[in-house]
Amino acid sequence: MGRIQFDYSGAVDANYGVTEAQIAELAPKLLELQQEFVAVAPPFASLPRELLDGYNELRDDSPLGQIFRVANRLHDEVDAVVVLAGGGAYRGVQALRDACCDPYHNELSRGGRGSKPRMYFTGNDLDNDASSALLHRLGRDLTAIDPVVRRWAMVVIDPAGETRERALALRQFLPAMEESLADDAAQWLPELLLPVTDQPSKLRDLAQAIGCKEIFPVSNELDERFNVLSAAGVLPAAMLGLDCVQLLEGAAAMDEHFRAAPPESNLVLQYVAIHHLLQTHRGIDRRVMNVWGSALETFGLWHDQLLAGSGSPVLPLTTVSPRDGHHLDPTNLQGKVVNHVIVQQHRADPWQVGQSDGDHDGLNALSDRKLPDLMTQAIADSDAALHTAGCPTTQLRMHEIDTHSLGQLFHMLMLTTTLECRLQNCDSKDKPSTK
Ligand X SMILES: O=P(O)(O)OC[C@H]1O[C@H](O)[C@H](O)[C@@H](O)[C@@H]1O
d(CA 291, CA 297) in angstroms, rounded, equals 7
User: What is the total count of residues that contact ligand X (CB under 6 A)?
Assistant: 9
* Alpha helices by DSSP H, 261-296: 267-282
Sole binder of ligand X in the list 54, 190, 241, 293 (CB under 6 A): 241
The nearer residue to ligand X, 71 or 295, going by C-beta atoms, is: 71
3-state secondary structure of 288: strand
Site for ligand X contains 181 (CB under 6 A): no
CB of 11 to ligand X, least distance (A): 36
Sole binder of ligand X in the list 53, 214, 243, 324 (CB under 6 A): 243
CB of 65 to ligand X, least distance (A): 7
The nearer residue to ligand X, 64 or 398, going by C-beta atoms, is: 64
For residues 323-342, one letter each, b for 16 or more C-beta atoms within 10 angstroms of the residue's C-beta and e for the rest, the string is: eeeebbeeeebeebbbbbbb
CB of 104 to ligand X, least distance (A): 20
d(CA 38, CA 422) in angstroms, rounded, equals 13
Site for ligand X contains 244 (CB under 6 A): yes
CB of 349 to ligand X, least distance (A): 27
Residue 391's region, left for phi above 0, alpha for psi from -120 to 50, else beta, is: beta
The nearer residue to ligand X, 68 or 226, going by C-beta atoms, is: 68
Task: Write the binding mask 44 to 83 for ligand X: x where contact by CB under 6 A, - elsewhere.
Answer: ------------------------x--xx-----------
d(CA 329, CA 367) in angstroms, rounded, equals 29
CB of 418 to ligand X, least distance (A): 27
Sole binder of ligand X in the list 95, 242, 314, 414 (CB under 6 A): 242
d(CA 294, CA 97) in angstroms, rounded, equals 12
Sole binder of ligand X in the list 245, 391, 406, 413 (CB under 6 A): 245
Residue 241's region, left for phi above 0, alpha for psi from -120 to 50, else beta, is: left
3-state secondary structure of 196: strand
Residues lying near ligand X in the complex (CB under 6 A) are found at 68, 71-72, 238, 241-245
